[in-house]
Structure 1
Amino acid sequence: MPMALIGVLLYYVGTDRVGTEVNKSHQAQLQQSIQQMDDYLSNLEKFVVRVAFDPVFDESLNHFDFTDQFQKTKDLMKSLTLMTESNALLSSVCLYLRDADKLVCDDAGIRQIQTDEDRKLFAALLDEEKPIYWNYGIKQIHKPDLSYKAVVIKLPGGQLQNAFGAFLVYLDPVKLNAMVQKLVSGEGISFLINEHGDYLTDLRSSPTLPTEELLENKLRARIMEENLKENTFIYDWKNESYSVSYGKIAKLGGKWTVVSATPLSQITAPVTSISRMIIGISLFALLTGLLLAWFASNRIYDPISRLKSMFETGITKADDNNEISYIENQWKEHLQEQQALRTRVQQSIPTLRESFLLQFLQGNLYTHTELEINEKMNQLEWDIENKKFAFWVAQLQGLSDLAGTYSERDAQLITFAASNIMLELSSQKLPMVHIMNFQDLSVGAFFVLDSEGTNEQLKAELNRSAEDYIAALNNVLRIKATMVISTITNSVLEAPNVLEQTRRALRFRELHSSNQLLDMGHFILENNERVPFPFELEREIVQAIGMGLEEEAVRLVEAFLVALQQNNNTELMVHQGMMKLLGTIHDTIMKYDVNMYALYEGAHLYEELVQITETNAMVHWFQYKLIQPFIRTLSIAYDSGLRRSIEQLIGQIGRDFLSDISLEAYAEQLQMSSSKLSKVFKQITGVNYIDYITRLRIEKCKELLYTTDLKINDIAELLRYQPSYLIRIFKKSEGMTPGQYREKHSHE
């Protein structure tokens, strides 16, 4: 009740006094704001005079080449920018050059005036009889749809005629309007007009009223028409009294008037509202005080009880003696669990990233878009947007040369150590690196590179790091390596294909144990060069295997491998030659009716051979995996005496194949049946007797066709064949007739 009495006294006694004091304060604030605006314009006036008489801006600018003289152009643009930043009311500064027909602006750059309309508009600025004056409706050339308030400064300064150009100093309408609108708040209005009564700021009255009924127009008309002695007066408008204050500013040849109007009800509103609020609160408090006292006593414990019950869900209820301590302890436990969970998530991110990259680089995520890949990598704390991507692939070699140091069982350990070395070296320079262990003495690295440098710079850095890695392998593991550096791609979706191409490029390494560094960008495959194949060595290898000569066969395989390397030393071409040899040996073994599945225990010979990358390992594989098991099988079936007899018989057939010879005659010579001789001959040589004789005669026929001019009939008689039969078997063997064979080789 005392508060209610104070509210009534305050309402009736304090309203007039407070209104008067607030009005005085408002008038003082207006004068300060006018003074601030006057200071801004004074600074602008000094700046304008200084610019007008600056000797730097002379008539030579009309003939200045802004393109060739780049540094001076840059200094000029910097000067315009400093002019704009020197005053808070400025939006931009432009230099108009009439003869050059150009505008140089700090925000629009150097602009050529394009249209006659613009040319006349800017030229007319120089016709004004004042050296410095205001223009309230000038436009900017790069914003033709808007008009601005600007100060025009004719150059050179002080001359009314023959000006060669002008500075256009544009005011920022937003900042000017904001400065004026700060004079009032709430329902009050403020605006700025020039000496002609034109508005220089936006209007804030209701847009639903006609223009002639706006409060701004009423106040402007009174200020322009009446010569008031006071700078403040009371104006009644639409059942409301306004306290109006105004002040004048005269700068740069213009006279501005700042007007501010505030409703008196707004001025006294704080006192009125406070008085009413005091009375209302007093009455309300009187009615609710007792009710709150009763309500609080029953409900003040309820939040603590509910919070305590939330912690007790699913656990034993706590002692009720100290609920606050119980809640505090439970909250600490929850925070600890949350921190532990966050730590586990952070620790699992590298593993999740490794798994995702493994799936992606293997090509299993080909259905994903680039945006989806980027989003997924962002979740895994890798930002790969606007990045470049590249790969390393390294093949470890020379392990067989260090037999005393490493064994075949150490291959996985060596690969693991090489991948760790690669991770340590590459992560020192790049934060986003993924290392791949292919488990076959080869490792790879996926790099996410910054897009700032050029591809040549990035490739040079990768080359330097690759050389460091090879040196580390040589020093730490004592092994050699071949490294392939991929091309650099800008699309993460191309990464799996780039990796596959880079791994394939390892097949182009030279098969020796020295270090090699290959660049995917330098591969050129020549298709027109003929690569000779050692067919003669291939036949000798097959013959040695058929005769059970293991050491001779191994020696020939080594010679065969050397011949392949002399023709083309890349791993790809050597592998293809060794695969061809494996196929020939495979066909020979099948002719001996040997169960190859049982002989080689179901092994996939071609797949095993393609995994071998070193020459010594290839020879070792051919000897112990391929040749030795087969020769042991033959040795069980035939003794050495019978084998020598067949070898002697083969030599005799080579001398007698042009005579009338028969299997029966040779069987009688060897004192065995013809059927047994036929079977033994096929199992040792791989072909039957008739086919062997036919092959010798076909080879002789080819020799005679190539080296002599004998007719086909003469050659057939020499070979003990009918001409028609010879033509038929020759075509079946060579795919062409003897005449076609001779014609083909005659051109060579």
Structure 2
Amino acid sequence: MFRFNRYFTKMIVFTIGASTLPIILLGLFFYMKTSGTIQQKVNDGNMLVLEQTRLRVEQVLGALDLQIERLSDNPYVTEALDSGLAPSGFILVQNVLKSMSQVLTFDVGIRDVHLIDLNRGTILNSGGLNRLSDAESSKVAEYLRMNRTKFWVAERNSMLRGRSGDNNFTINLVKIFPPFTEKPGGMLIIEIPAAQLRNFLAKNNTLGEVMIMDESYHVLASQNQRMEANSQMLEAVADKLHGTSGESGLYETSFGEEQVGVAFQRSAFNGWAYISVIPIDLIRFESRRTGWIILATCVVMLLAAVIVSLAGSQRMYMPVLRLYQSLFAQQGKVSGRIDEFHMIHEGFARMRSDQVQMADQLRNHARQLEEYYVMKLVRGEMKPTQLGEKMSFFDAGAQKWKHLAAIAIHIDTLEGTRYSERDSELLLFAVSNMVGELIPKHARLLPVVVDASQVTVIFDDPESPDDFRTYLYSLAKRVQDEVEHYLSLRVSIGISRPYDGLAEANRAYKEAMDALKYRVLYGQKTILRIDDVQPAQSVATQYPKELERHIFDAIKMADREKVQQLTDAFFGEISGQFHNYNDYQIAMTRFFVNLIRLLQESGISHLKPLGCDPPLLEQLHALSSVEETRSWFKQRIVDPMVSVFEEQRKSRHRTISQEVVQMIEDNYDTDISLESCSNLLNYHPSYISKVLRQELGISFSDYLMQYRLGKAKRMLEETDMKISEIAERLRYNNSQNFIRSFRKQEGMTPGQYRDEYINKHYKKALKS
């Protein structure tokens, strides 16, 4: 009798799982596949029934739609609306009723046809010719407010007198004509009892109960009247359809304890919804039966797999059991469950784990401590007296260096790369690791990251300082190329002067960082030696004040093209003169401050960039090239300033043009002129003329002439003033000049204009 030890238990579980899992998965796959296929067939059948029902209904309603179009174009109907229906027009009434009766013979159970004269408030139907009642007038007004010329609508009551109060809906086809007019003259209404729609529903549909609902989700007809009485079910279906925007679809819902599947289609013809409701149990009946068959088959196969797994596991465990008994026979019987392989492996695994853990801890602590000392060294925080005891830690006791120097590496930009700002720290550590691999360990200290730059102290024993400088440059170039090749990053590298001894590491670090600052003048992806960028003699520079003044004038004039040209020239002058980083930063700061002062002196304090975070001055000092600085000034400062001055200029022009127009309207009957207006507004006449042409598209004299002629027409229409009096009133030299100007503008003389106006109003008075 076998003990179920851990290994034996695992073997049994594995063999049973390996043999039964495929059976379970295969059974689930077949069940889901067959269930989905069966349910899809039921759903497709439902949708097909709905499609056939909708087509039958819309075929009949479409034919009825054509009938009402023909009836609206009937000459008798047109004549009746034009001349009006009255008992005296007996023949016309009979002809109209005869035309309407042809629609009544249409085999859809039409209840009645109503012809409504909207102008006279009468209705003609099978009940005769009557005046519209208040209820009928209200319903007609409601139809008119729908702003549609033809539509279907379901109503609770019939417009046929004596038939109100019917519990069934009446379906009205409403036609308003003539169409597309502000005041239509007639309305045709064809009434169909909603119960007639039941004739178009399938009689023996086993897939579900079919219903037809209008746009407001009222039941117009159903296959089974029991469905109409189930208000809870209808309310649940209507609520679900309200939240569904598709033209057709399938969903499941429940009301009470009953769950149903609902298929629906919306008609593009009249907005009705065709719905089929089928109980979920009916949909899933075949699925469950198939599931039971698959389950029974799987159970039989599972039992067979378990029996085979148990027998096979016992046979496979026999060699392991004999090996364990032979190894531990002298220890006697071990109580409880055992894991044979685990007992053998446990001791070795524990020893190896302890050894690896201790080695990792030692390496990590040593690296962290070395990095800490290097950081203190380059920052100048390590006293000279401490260097002696730390030399062994720097692996420098056996080295007799003659020279050391520092290189500082800075990532130029992450824009246009696959990285983002949050990756900058990881990228610096990656660069630090690459430096550690490219530079031999015996020729450097541990590479560290200091203040967003990677710093490495390098030493050598060259024959001359120039050889050491060449060696440093070659190392920097190699690092720069490898970083670009593997990380696709552009970096700039600063190199310090050579120094003797570790005590000068802090000075070398500062010089390397200072050299990096000059990349703003020399561009990105540069290698900068402090000896090259800080010459012994300084060169006198002169700030381009004249160019700056021209830039400010162009900004005030909102001349974008000129601003662009002058700005390019300004930065070209700066980059050509200022080779010292500090002088360059002072020049850029001066330009920035002068731009802000221009804003403040112009009374503008709401420019959006002034509220940036971080502040603009910090952004300016963080830029790494002249081109980047020029682009930053253009986008963040200059272009927004030009837009503000341009808006001010446009606003000022609009104000001037409005004041001139107001002066003309107030003083048109005086000797007003462009010069008099310019004196009052304190602007030059040519400037005012230019503003008027820009804002109004017309000159001062033309606008004055048009306004005076407009006033002349009103005087000719509303007063009996003589032509000469009007000419004198409008400040013309003589009446002939006035007549010529009027004829040129209107194509007729003032007298002809007055006669034509009088005749027109006389004829209009006669018609009314």
Q: Give the TM-score range, shorter chain.
A: 0.3 to 0.5
**TM-score, scaled to structure 2:** 0.35
